[in-house]
Amino acid sequence: MRKFPSWIRVPVVFFIIFGAVEYFIDSGEQPAFIEYPAVLLFLLLVLLILIAIEAIVGALENVMLHKLDEEAKARFLAEKENAFKLTWLQDTYQKLLGQKPIEQEGEIILDHNYDGIKELDNNLPPWWVYSFYISIVFAAVYLLRFHVFDGYSQADELETELADARIAIEEYKKTAKDLVDINTVTLLTDAGDLTAGKTIFQTNCVACHMADGGGGIGPNLTDEHWILGGGIKNVFKTVSEGGRSGKGMIAWKAQLKPSEMAQVASYVLSFQGTTPANPKAPEGDIWVEENNETTDNVVTD
């Protein structure tokens, strides 16, 4: 480790400790040092101690150096010289610049002289030259691909992205059943949904509507008369927002999720046409589904 200079040693050790802390502390989505401020404090302390150790070791080395005789001193310094240097990085950097070292500048100086200002005939830096070549190749490929062989246009790109987005939205809607509201709710016919609706109905609604929907405190749900409107949208709305104030039908949206309201509303509509044991007299108007292709009696006025 002593081979590396302190400005490499300290960060490396620090990040190893940091990584270990993040690995071992379970902090959910957030990094541990944000989730638990104590961790941040601990990491700061670690950093401080690392720097302190470096400072102490440096100071000790200095003291030691003063005590050494000349020969030992020279040996020690030579060893230090040999220590890790970023030679590779420096070499590559120099190569990419393509400059002549200052000592050799005499070879490339141009022989004009403008009031003492002279000009060097340096090569173009290789990083620039190669980037330029690459851009030429890129341009040729691009030209052929999009202007000669008719590649996709921006409009096509937009179309594909929109199509992808539509698929993503569909996927999302499948998993997010609770997105239904009064405008998007549809009659659920799936047996699973209806069973779930039945359970919800039996837990919350039978006290007033009876298990068979015949009615009690609440109106009969099996006939085609509706006080607040029939059809899935109206029923969903009544369940969600409640009935007329003071009648006893509360807004269930506080207790049921949108998906559950859709299920129980669909279950309620499955009572249509059944004959309950104790049917309550019809209340409200006969509901006729409008603009519904599946029913024969579409009313048009």
The residue ranges that bind ligand HEC (CB under 6 A) are 201, 204-205, 207-209, 217-219, 221, 226-228, 235, 238-239, 243-244, 247-249, 252, 264, 268, 284
CB of 280 to ligand HEC, least distance (A): 10
Q: Which is nearer to ligand HEC, 9 or 209 (CB)?
A: 209
CB of 223 to ligand HEC, least distance (A): 9
Cα Dmax for the chain:
116
Residue with tokens 């949904």: 193
Q: Which is nearer to ligand HEC, 85 or 244 (CB)?
A: 244
Which runs of E-coded beta strand occur in 167-295? 225-226, 285-286
Q: Which residue is nearest to ligand HEC (CB)?
A: 243
Closest CA to 288 of 231, 206, 246: 231
Joined tokens for residue 227: 């006080």
Q: Which is nearer to ligand HEC, 39 or 221 (CB)?
A: 221
Q: Which is nearer to ligand HEC, 19 or 229 (CB)?
A: 229
CB of 220 to ligand HEC, least distance (A): 8
Taking 3-state DSSP, the helix, strand and coil percentages for the chain, each rounded to the nearest 5, stand at: 60, 5, 35
Cα distance between residue 214 and residue 207, in whole Å: 11
Q: Which is nearer to ligand HEC, 80 or 247 (CB)?
A: 247
Beta bridge partners of 286: 225
Using alpha carbons only, give the angle 191, 197, 200 rounded to the nearest 5 degrees. Answer: 145
Residues 249 and 242: beta-carbon distance below 8 Å = yes
CB of 296 to ligand HEC, least distance (A): 23
What amino acid occupies position 296?
A: D
CB of 181 to ligand HEC, least distance (A): 16
CB of 177 to ligand HEC, least distance (A): 17
Cα distance between residue 268 and residue 199, in whole Å: 12
Q: Which is nearer to ligand HEC, 208 or 211 (CB)?
A: 208
CB of 258 to ligand HEC, least distance (A): 13
Q: Which is nearer to ligand HEC, 39 or 231 (CB)?
A: 231
Other CB atoms within 10 Å distance of the CB of residue 175:
8
Joined tokens for residue 191: 């047996």
Residue 136 CB burial class (10 angstroms; 0-12, 13-18, ≥19): exposed
Category of 31 on φ-ψ map: left (φ > 0), alpha (ψ -120 to 50) or beta: beta
Q: Which is nearer to ligand HEC, 5 or 243 (CB)?
A: 243
State whether the Cα torsion 202-204-207-208 is positive or negative: negative
CB of 175 to ligand HEC, least distance (A): 25
